[in-house]
Amino acid sequence: MISFQMTPEMFLFLFLIGFCAGFVDSIAGGGGLIALPALLSVGLPVHLALGTNKLQSSFGSFSAAYNYVQRGEVRLGECGPGILFTLVGAMIGAWAIQQLDAIFVRHLIPILLTVVLFYTLFSRKLGYEERDPKMGRSLFFLIFGMGLGFYDGFFGPGTGSFWAAAFLILLGFNMTKAAGSTKVMNFTSNIVSLCVFAWGDKIVYSVGISMAIGQTIGARMGSSLAIRKGAGFIRPVFMAIVFLTIVRLVYVNYHV
């Protein structure tokens, strides 16, 4: 692990970035759009930026998930199979990224996110009220827990958007319940990935903790706002985050 000298100004910068990332991520995902560029901007190599991002995002996803559960928007008992399959999928994905080239996934994800964006755009009532599920929970969590857990461990960007869309479309959740359930799954895959990066000594703890403090506060505030405002607030934020994720991934794929 490299030595990294923290100044008061840098601590404040990272704290504010963590706060913004946690606030946005707790509502609609996409906190990595804010956090990762910031980590790279302070001079961290890519592999250390990824590991450090998992440290700070684990705090944010836990804070948001706890708030959603505490407010009664999510029942952990109903998420049990999803947590288990997501954990297994993330472990496999975190191992696989060290063995395989992720370039195919990098080019496929913007296409899939574009489908999610347009489906949400043209389904105007999606997420405003709960609907009948189109898939049994056990099968849903097996497929998406393994699949999105693997993807988050393997690559990551857009995971929250895919989870939210899956909960909305296939399980018929409203926006608030989908956002809360997404954070439970995000925390599961984040903490597994964090353990893998920690094992490989790919985390700068002074940077990660600085951002984690902001993440925890921002995620708590963002999730509380989402619970209070509901679908009318979450929907446009969700669509904006999906769009920005697509733009960022296309830029990275073709300009880096």
Residue 71: CB atoms within 10 Å: 14
Domain assignment of residue 205, yes or no: yes
d(CA 26, CA 220): 8
Spatial contact of 48 and 2, defined as CB atoms under 8 Å apart: yes
Counted domains in the chain = 1
Domain assignment of residue 3, yes or no: no
Domain assignment of residue 52, yes or no: yes
Domain assignment of residue 2, yes or no: no
- Tell me which of 155-164, 178-187, 191-200 is least confident: 155-164
| 24-55 residue pLDDT tens | 999 988 888 888 888 888 888 877 888 898 89
Residue 213: CB atoms within 10 Å: 17
Continuous H helices in the chain: 8-28, 32-41, 46-70, 76-96, 103-122, 137-154, 159-170, 175-199, 205-229, 231-255
* Most distant pair of Cα atoms in the chain: their distance: 53
Q: What is the pTM of this model?
A: 0.86
Unique residue bearing structure tokens 């910031």: 38
| 205-236 residue pLDDT tens | 999 999 999 999 999 999 999 999 998 899 89
pLDDT at position 46: 76
* Residue range of the domain that includes 61: 8-255
Domain assignment of residue 1, yes or no: no
Whole-angstrom CA distances from 137 to 80, 111, 184 are 11, 26, 15
Domain assignment of residue 111, yes or no: yes
Q: What is the DSSP letter of 155?
A: T
What Rg do the C-alpha atoms of the chain give, in angstroms?
A: 17
Domain assignment of residue 210, yes or no: yes
